[in-house]
Amino acid sequence: MDSREIVEVIDLNILGQVCPACLLVVLKALNDHQERLRSGKTRLVVRTDHRDSTRTVPESARKMGYEAQVKKVDTYYEISIGRKH
């Protein structure tokens, strides 16, 4: 993925929340920013420390037609969701 294409990052901090509540939060954000995310100009970056979310969130995002990447950062996970290339 070319980072120069990204003009905006929506940061979603759900540290401390557990699944499936955090999934609902992410889904809400995906619904709210649907158009911007689909345009490819925006990416949603979710920070979570709940391990289950690293499975359920990317799975659901992919079903909705997005591309999702999971990265381990220090004590939490960073899930980056955006338009499929």
Partner 1 sequence: MSQPDENPPSLLAVRLAELEAANQAYVRYIREKTNQLLEVMGTRALESEELDEEALIEMDPIGIVAQSFQQILAHLNQTIEELQEAKAGERELREFYLTEKMKLATLIESLSEGLLVLDEQNRVVSCNRAADEITQWLATDSLGKTLEALFPEMEAVLRKNACDLQSFELTFRSRQGADRLLSANVTRLRDSEGRAAGRVVTFRDSTEEKRRTELFHRTEKLAAIGQLSAGVAHELNTPLGSVLGYARLLLKDKTLSPAQRAWAEIIAEQVKKSSGIIQGLLRFARQSNPARRCLEQCRINEIIKLTLPLLATEMAKRKIELETDLQPLPPIIGDPRELEQVVLNLTMNALQAIGTKGRVRITTRHAGSRVVMKVEDNGPGIAEQIRSRIFDPFYTTKPLGEGTGLGLSICSGIVSDLGGTLDVTSVEGQGATFILSLPAATEASAELGKSDSRQAARRMGAGRE
Residues whose CB falls within 8 Å of the CB of residue 63, separated by 6 or more in sequence, listed in order: none
Q: Is 45 in the site for partner 1 (CB under 8 A)?
A: no
Place of tokens 């980056």: 80
Q: Is 46 in the site for partner 1 (CB under 8 A)?
A: no
What is the DSSP pairing of strand 66-73 with strand 42-48? unpaired
User: Which H or E element spans position 22?
Assistant: helix 21-32
Q: Is 51 in the site for partner 1 (CB under 8 A)?
A: no
Binding mask 19-38 for partner 1 (x = CB under 8 A): xxx-xx--xx-xx--x----
Residues that bind partner 1 (CB under 8 A): 18-21, 23-24, 27-28, 30-31, 34, 52, 56, 59-60, 63-65
